[in-house]
Amino acid sequence: MQTQTTLHKQIAQFYDQSSGLWEAVWGEHMHHGYWKGPHDAKSPKQAQIDLMEELIRLAPGLSPGSRVLDMGCGIGGSSTYLAQRYGFDVTGITLSPVQAERAGERAKSLGLESKVNFQVANALETPFSTHSFDLIWSLESGEHMADKKQFLEECYRLLKPGGTLLFATWCCKDGALTAREEKILAEIYRMYHLPYVLSIEAYDQLMENVGFMPVHSLDWSREVEKFWDLVIDSSLNPAILGRIFQSGRLVVQGALAMRLMRQGYRRGIVRYGVLTGVKA
């Protein structure tokens, strides 16, 4: 059985190798976009910004100077956006040293060194004190967590009383899976270094069990599904395709998984869960 240490090394290596390519093709936001419907023709970058705006609407009561922890910060796209747009003081953590360094470079180039900082840290066992943050922002990192309950417990510990967890993550359908569906998920897990994912319903219950109250959950699968068509189209550009193969086995493997993700959404196997919970 894969240990957490091994998994964390694999995740770090994957993002060390792939983040530069992703930034060159799609920019600093390493997450889905948000489209209002099939006829919404906005650009992918605008859709990614809109997704962040839709998310932050779910966490009222914040103000300039609010302390935010970006769990799984990538190259700092969300962190710098939240600092620049809303004046939050943001700390970002990632398992990837390459991402942390690049995030710091980006923050410096934007003149945000006093508002954001980045470090390499394990989201299951962070180095921060209890009651440190007003908001924990976890945008598409929860799927990588080897122990979902431990992750949510750590988020709860870190939040100030009345603080909010804003959690957007890849999920699976609720209920029993067919053998074919299990095979598709297993391949996605293998190619993207995911230990497992949960259904939105299971996360809702787990967050309540940890102590968050109230908990609210949404299914944004239809709003984000278009993302995978656009990612696949962009990867077929000959120049980009060449860079994918030059970037190494892990990046090629991730590119091959894109069609599985599209298939997963279309079959309803993969879902996009958005959950919020308040610490009492």
- For residue 4, the model assigns a pLDDT of 83
Contacts of 45-50 with C-beta under 8 Å, sequence gap 24+, read 47/226, 47/227, 48/77, 49/81
4-278 adopts what CATH topology? Answer: Rossmann fold (3.40.50)
For residue 36, the model assigns a pLDDT of 93
pLDDT at residue 18, as a whole number: 83
Q: What is the pLDDT of residue 245?
A: 64
Residue type, 230: L
| CA distances to 53, 106, 108 from 277, in Å | 18, 30, 32
> Over the Cα atoms of the chain, what is R_g?
18
| Residue ranges of domains in the chain | 4-278
Within the chain, which residues score under 50 in pLDDT? 1
What is the per-residue pLDDT for 1? 44
CB 91 within 8 A of CB 117: yes
By residue count, the chain amounts to: 280
Cα–Cα dist 35/31, whole Å: 13
